[in-house]
């Protein structure tokens, strides 16, 4: 239950064992087309381009910077955690000038601050944001930011690597210009795939940008995508697996997938708070929950006890949150009893480490949340 890589369902693992196919064939073209069509449905876009890359999410992030900015161009970077800080590092690597909008880790940006910066800096070309900041579990109001940026000449880039397939993303309705996604989070495939969704407005910037680019050149990607191919050798086996995951998501229904993530993470947060622990994020995301342990209990001891004694693998904190939090992922192939198991392991580990708490308190609070909804259908079979 880490926030990535996330569990891979059995039928997706089986798909990975199919014969390896060539990527310049009719057979591959049909799979590629189905994957792009499915991703468009999940991204809620009618006609924006979707490019698949053999890379991790960071490669797709780099592609967004390289394809939309020239050295000396101005951008806004919202920073509130390890992943959103990466946008600033990438801008620096490409010589772009960025206005940092720094927020306390665990908080979410006030969209009004972006509006203010855009008014004061009409030469800003790109706004870089993060839907779910995986290092803090905080969610950003991308809908509000999208409405603001859409009314300007700037484009909006969203890192949705742990947001898409977890919570609502309305690419067209919210005016999102570049959406970055990765395979190993809510898309339930092994690490190695990234995809980007690019709007018409962004495509105009791609033609104007002068940054050096080759592997990740969206112009080459577009030519290939129009033929249901990738510019370079496609990781066909991973894409076959991705098709299986997408079929699973569409079979459950995108709205139901989102509702399930909200239910599971909501139950987890309720259970955690019943134990007297604090959730770090003010506006928590539904794919990952960052939790502050009680006073006197080191977060890494808690994490290690959960893994070594009870076999529940959760993540620790990163950078300035190292040793201060644990992070529990509830993404993709995750169901009610995973949350119960995690809470149970959390309770027992807390008691093992000397924290006084009634066993069953968190589990019970979570069960009450889970039982209060009639809509939930069993996800794992
Ligand atoms: C996982 C993740 C990424 C991509 O990281 P890679 O290690 O390159 O796959 C990017 N952004 C966020 C918010 C993430 O959680």
pLDDT tens sequence across 85-114: 999 999 999 999 999 999 999 999 999 999
Which tens digit of pLDDT belongs to each residue from 262-314? Answer: 999 999 999 999 999 999 999 999 999 999 999 999 999 999 999 999 999 99
What whole-number distance in Å separates Cα of residue 214 and Cα of residue 208? Answer: 15
Alpha helices in the chain (DSSP H): 10-15, 26-43, 57-68, 82-93, 111-120, 142-150, 171-174, 200-208, 218-225, 236-252, 254-274, 299-310, 336-352, 361-372
pLDDT of residue 366: 98
Kindly calculate the radius of gyration of the chain based on its CA atoms and give it in whole angstroms: 21
Domain coordinates of the chain in residue numbers? Answer: 10-252, 254-372
What the block records as the tokens of 227 is 């033929």
Summary mean pLDDT of the chain: 97
Sheet holding 178-182, edge to edge: 49-53, 194-198, 178-182, 155-159, 124-130, 74-79, 97-102
What whole-number distance in Å separates Cα of residue 254 and Cα of residue 13? Answer: 22
CB-ligand 1 contact for 135 (6 Å cutoff): no
Average pLDDT over residues 59-68: 98
Model confidence band, residue 324 (pLDDT cutoffs 50, 70, 90): very high
Which tens digit of pLDDT belongs to each residue from 168-196? Answer: 999 999 999 999 999 999 999 999 999 99
Model confidence band, residue 378 (pLDDT cutoffs 50, 70, 90): confident
What whole-number distance in Å separates Cα of residue 239 and Cα of residue 193? Answer: 8
| 333 neighbors 275 (Cβ within 8 angstroms) | no
| 173 neighbors 44 (Cβ within 8 angstroms) | yes
Which tens digit of pLDDT belongs to each residue from 285-297? Answer: 999 999 999 999 9
For residues 146, 149, 150, 155, the Cα torsion angle rounded to the nearest 10 degrees is -100
CB-ligand 1 contact for 134 (6 Å cutoff): yes
| 273 neighbors 259 (Cβ within 8 angstroms) | no
Q: Which of 159, 192, 216 to mutate to test the pocket of ligand 1 (most atoms within 8 A of CB)?
A: 159
CB-ligand 1 contact for 57 (6 Å cutoff): yes
What whole-number distance in Å separates Cα of residue 222 and Cα of residue 22? Answer: 20
What whole-number distance in Å separates Cα of residue 98 and Cα of residue 190? Answer: 33
Closest CA to 286 of 308, 261, 307, 310: 261
Burial class for 122, CB neighbours closer than 10 Å (0-12, 13-18, 19+) = exposed
pLDDT of residue 67: 98
Which tens digit of pLDDT belongs to each residue from 216-226? Answer: 999 999 999 99
Q: Which of 6, 54, 57, 88 to mutate to test the pocket of ligand 1 (most atoms within 8 A of CB)?
A: 57
CB-ligand 1 contact for 58 (6 Å cutoff): yes
Residue 57 CA to ligand 1 center (angstroms) comes to: 5
CATH 3.90.1150.10 fits 254-372, yes or no: yes
At 179, which helix (H) or strand (E)? strand 178-182
pLDDT of residue 191: 98
Q: Percentage of residues in the chain with pLDDT exceeding 90?
A: 98
At 279, which helix (H) or strand (E)? strand 278-279
Average pLDDT over residues 51-77: 98
The reply to whether 254-372 shares the fold of 10-252 is no
CB-ligand 1 contact for 344 (6 Å cutoff): no
What the block records as the tokens of 238 is 């991973």
The 3-class secondary structure across 28-42, one letter per residue, is HHHHHHHHHHHHHHH
What CATH number does the domain located at 10-252 have?
Answer: 3.40.640.10
CB-ligand 1 contact for 87 (6 Å cutoff): no
Average pLDDT over residues 26-31: 98
70 pLDDT more than 90: yes
Non-local CB neighbours of 231 within 8 Å, separated by 6+ positions: 215, 217, 220, 221, 223, 224
365 pLDDT more than 80: yes
CB-ligand 1 contact for 137 (6 Å cutoff): no
What whole-number distance in Å separates Cα of residue 48 and Cα of residue 69? Answer: 20
The minimum-distance atom of ligand 1 relative to the CA of 4 is: 1
Verdict on whether the full-model pTM lies above 0.75: yes
What whole-number distance in Å separates Cα of residue 96 and Cα of residue 74? Answer: 6
Non-local CB neighbours of 199 within 8 Å, separated by 6+ positions: 48, 155, 171, 175, 176, 177, 178
């Amino acid at each position: 239950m880490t926030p990535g890589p996330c569990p891979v369902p059995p039928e997706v693992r089986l798909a990975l064992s199919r014969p390896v196919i060539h990527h310049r064939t009719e057979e591959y073209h049909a799979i590629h087309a189905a994957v792009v069509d499915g991703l468009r449905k999940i991204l809620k876009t009618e006609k924006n381009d979707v490019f698949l890359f053999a890379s991790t999410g960071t490669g797709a992030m780099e592609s967004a910077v390289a394809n939309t900015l020239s050295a000396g161009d101005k951008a806004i970077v919202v920073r509130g955690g390890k992943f959103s800080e990466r946008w600033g590092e990438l801008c620096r690597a490409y010589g772009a000038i960025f206005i940092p909008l720094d927020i306390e880790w665990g908080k979410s940006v006030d969209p009004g601050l972006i509006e203010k910066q855009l008014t004061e800096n009409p030469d800003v070309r790109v706004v870089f944001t993060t839907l779910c900041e995986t290092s803090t579990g905080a969610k950003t109001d991308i809908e509000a930011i999208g409405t603001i940026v859409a009314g300007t000449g700037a484009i909006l880039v969203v890192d949705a690597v742990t947001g898409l397939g977890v919570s609502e993303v309305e690419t067209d309705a919210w005016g999102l210009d570049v959406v970055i996604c990765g395979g190993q989070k809510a898309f339930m495939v092994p690490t190695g795939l990234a995809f980007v969704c690019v709007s018409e407005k962004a495509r105009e910037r791609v033609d104007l940008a002068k940054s050096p680019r080759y592997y990740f050149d969206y112009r080459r990607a577009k030519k290939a995508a129009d033929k249901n191919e990738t510019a370079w050798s496609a990781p066909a086996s991973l894409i076959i697996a991705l098709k299986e995951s997408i079929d699973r998501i569409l079979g459950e229904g995108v709205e139901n997938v989102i509702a399930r993530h909200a239910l599971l993470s909501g139950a987890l947060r309720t259970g955690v708070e019943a134990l007297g622990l604090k959730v770090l994020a003010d506006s928590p995301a539904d794919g990952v929950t960052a939790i502050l342990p009680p006073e006197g209990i080191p977060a890494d001891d808690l994490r290690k006890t959960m893994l070594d004694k009870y076999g529940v693998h959760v993540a620790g904190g990163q950078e300035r949150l190292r040793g201060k939090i644990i992070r529990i992922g509830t993404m993709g192939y995750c169901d009610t009893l995973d949350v119960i198991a995690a809470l149970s392991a959390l309770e027992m580990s807390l008691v093992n480490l000397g924290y006084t708490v009634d066993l069953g308190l968190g589990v019970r609070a979570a069960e009450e949340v889970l039982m209060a909804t009639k809509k939930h259908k069993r996800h794992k079979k």
